[in-house]
Amino acid sequence: MHAAHFTFADGKTLELVVAPGQTVLEAAMTIDAPLRYDCASGSCGACVAQLCDGETEFDAGAPTPLSPAECAAGLRATCMTRLRGDAAFQLPYALEPAPSAPARYQTQVISVERVAASVHRLVLALDDEDFVFQSGQYVRLRPPGSRQARAYSIASAPHTTGGEARLEFLIRHVPDGMMSTWLADSAKAGDRVTLHGPLGSFAHDIRAKRHVFLAGGTGLAPAVSILRQLGEASGPALLCFGCATPDDLFYEAELAELARNNPDLEVRTAVMGGECGDRAQLGTALSLLTPDDVATDAAYYLCGPPPMIEASRAWLDAQGVTPTAIRCERYIPGG
């Protein structure tokens, strides 16, 4: 038996007994410990924690959501991690306020609209006070008549009052994708959508003095959720948002409103090609970031497709940013 000691972002702690052969997450699930997870099979990254002390084992050839650089920096997917002795981990999210345990809910479509050539905005209503999420989390959605579900980050801020919750999603169009086809062809107000969640451990770093978000396409959703929740309490914040073309740009009014309501927030926008006047610069979310924006007391949030995440991580590394100051939410197209 080994002990796994966890420290949450708010300083609260938890100790687990991990039996021989058990993964750290299995030990947590056995006692219904409040650790977040989703797939429990090494692919989603929801259970990732920072190893601070101790030695761990990882089965050769087992799947992992982490890059070699992230592993070298001490990040561990607890679902695939076994202990060689006692170990200490740091979690990226606070214990309190806690999201509700993942469960299945029925929701109703309030609105669906195409906000750019490649993006739909979907708003769902959920009349269940049991559903409580924290900004940065995602859910899995199943449209009516489908057997499959897809994962999407919530773009709205957590509701602060009881009763009906409105959840907003930004959904990228995937040709012939199940969700995309439903949104484009038949989705309408009143449709029933099954939801599983809340899921995921992407969260803002409550210890950071400033926040730098790099968002690619619909990777904007968790960044916006966090910024909406923090509001003026965010401290200095920078959002670098990149899309492929001017036709793919969306949420310009929403981002302008966020910046209006928070004098500490600066929003920069880029497109990779096309003519868009003063709507955006030419480039990527990463190219909007300059060495002057890098600070030792900042947290960096990378939300977008894996190539964007890796390029951003490499650039930040070259600027001397420590891996522990970087948080990632990978967007893998699911249709």
Partner 1 sequence: MTADAIRLCAADDLADGDMRRFDLDGQDPIVLCRIGDDYLAVDDECTHAIASLSEGRLEGEVIFCPLHGGSFNVRSGKACSLPCKQKLRTYPIEIADGAIWVTP
Cβ closer to partner 1: 79 or 230?
79
Smallest gap from Cβ 45 to partner 1, in A, equals 13
Q: Kindly list the distances between the CA atom of residue 187 and the CA atoms of 121, 138, 145, 180, 291, in Å, as whole numbers in the listed order.
A: 12, 21, 11, 10, 44
Q: Which of the stretches 91-99, 145-153, 157-165, 226-234 binds partner 1 when contact is defined by CB under 8 A?
A: 145-153
102: closest CA among 155, 35, 45, 9?
35
- Which one of 33, 40, 88, 157 is in contact with partner 1 (CB under 8 A)? 40
Smallest gap from Cβ 131 to partner 1, in A, equals 15
Alpha-carbon distance of 335 to 140, in angstroms, equals 12
Cβ closer to partner 1: 148 or 322?
148
Q: Which of the stretches 8-16, 21-29, 129-137, 156-164 binds partner 1 when contact is defined by CB under 8 A?
A: 21-29
Quote the radius of gyration of the chain (alpha carbons, Å): 20
φ, ψ (nearest 5 deg) of residue 308 = -65, -40
By CB under 8 A, residue 29 contacts partner 1:
yes
Q: Which helix (H) or strand (E) holds 67?
A: none
- Range list of H helices, 61-186: 68-72, 178-185
Smallest gap from Cβ 212 to partner 1, in A, equals 32
Using an 8 Å Cβ cutoff, are 170 and 105 in contact? no
Smallest gap from Cβ 42 to partner 1, in A, equals 10
By CB under 8 A, residue 140 contacts partner 1:
yes
By CB under 8 A, residue 313 contacts partner 1:
no
Cβ closer to partner 1: 138 or 301?
138
Amino acid at 151: A
Q: Which of the stretches 142-150, 157-165, 259-267, 272-280 binds partner 1 when contact is defined by CB under 8 A?
A: 142-150
The answer, yes or no, to whether the previous bond of 198 is cis (omega within 30 of 0) is yes
Binding mask 84-123 for partner 1 (x = CB under 8 A): --------------------x-------------------
- Which one of 38, 70, 248, 329 is in contact with partner 1 (CB under 8 A)? 38
Alpha-carbon distance of 18 to 54, in angstroms, equals 13
- Which one of 11, 12, 13, 41 is in contact with partner 1 (CB under 8 A)? 41
Q: Which of the stretches 31-39, 173-181, 204-212, 317-325 binds partner 1 when contact is defined by CB under 8 A?
A: 31-39
Q: Kindly list the distances between the CA atom of residue 284 and the CA atoms of 215, 223, 256, 260, 262, in Å, as whole numbers in the listed order.
A: 9, 16, 19, 23, 24
Tokens read off for 271: 């497109």
Q: Which of the stretches 3-11, 89-97, 127-135, 146-154 binds partner 1 when contact is defined by CB under 8 A?
A: 146-154
Q: What angle do CA 88, 17, 33 make, to 5 degrees?
A: 85
By CB under 8 A, residue 142 contacts partner 1:
yes
Which residues does 56 contact at the CB level (< 8 Å), separation at least 6? 24, 76, 81, 82, 83, 84, 87
Number of residues binding to partner 1, judged by CB under 8 A: 16
Q: Which of the stretches 2-10, 66-74, 144-152, 270-278 binds partner 1 when contact is defined by CB under 8 A?
A: 144-152
> Which residues of this protein are in contact with partner 1, per CB under 8 A?
25-26, 29, 37-41, 104, 140, 142, 147-149, 194, 196
